[in-house]
Amino acid sequence: MEEPLKQVYVPVVATPGGEKTQLGVLSSEQDAWDVMRAFLSKAGETQVVKASIVAWEIDFVGEEGSFELATFDRKSCPVCSDLSFWIEGQDEGARCYNIRCGVWIEENRFEPDRWDCGWPSANWNKRSDSFESAHKGLQEMRAKSNSAGMSERMPSREAWLDEKDRERRTIQQRKFAAESELLDDES
């Protein structure tokens, strides 16, 4: 038998003025994280600066029926400088949602007082002993890559958008070609 539902999870985002928008009501915590991460990856064009996942008890009578499971704060990225860097909780972790960058900081699950950070597109990882030093580590990685000319190898935003545009056009052309073949078959 399925476990009866005890909690629901609500991803919420907020603007600097405190205006909140709920992104849904989910019965699984994992789904709430998926919805939140999908939003954060596209938050670039929005005014949203804060986000949280709130767990709500079901059939609870009283004032304390909800608690914040996770919070997110928008900052500028130490590597790509975009406002796509989201810090989780009280410096519990962080991730840049700019897909050309993707730097991250995570507390190591197995070793106490160990923090890992990485920059996937440069294939670099580093370990640190605190969130702050991991953050500094990322800035150092960026400085090193600048001096090694690596930033030139990272495509500019325009080049990247052009590339995406080209991909989209190719897909549309293929679709169009397939459709017109179908039409030819029918006639």
Q: Report strand pairing: 50-57 vs 66-75.
A: antiparallel
Q: Residue 164 burial (CB < 10 Å; 0-12/13-18/19+)?
A: exposed
98/128 with CB nearer Zn ion: 98
12/48 with CB nearer Zn ion: 48
Rounded to the nearest whole angstrom, what is the least distance from the CB of residue 53 to Zn ion in the complex? 22
8/84 with CB nearer Zn ion: 84
Rounded to the nearest whole angstrom, what is the least distance from the CB of residue 101 to Zn ion in the complex? 3
Rounded to the nearest whole angstrom, what is the least distance from the CB of residue 81 to Zn ion in the complex? 7
- Footprint on this chain of Zn ion (rule: CB under 5 A): 77, 79-80, 96, 98, 101
Rounded to the nearest whole angstrom, what is the least distance from the CB of residue 29 to Zn ion in the complex? 26
Q: Could you report how far apart the first and last alpha carbons of the chain are, in Å?
A: 54
- 68: alpha, beta or left, given left = phi > 0 and alpha = psi -120 to 50? beta
| DSSP 8-state code for residue 1 | -
Report the largest interatomic distance among the alpha carbons of the chain, rounded to a whole angstrom: 70
19/152 with CB nearer Zn ion: 152
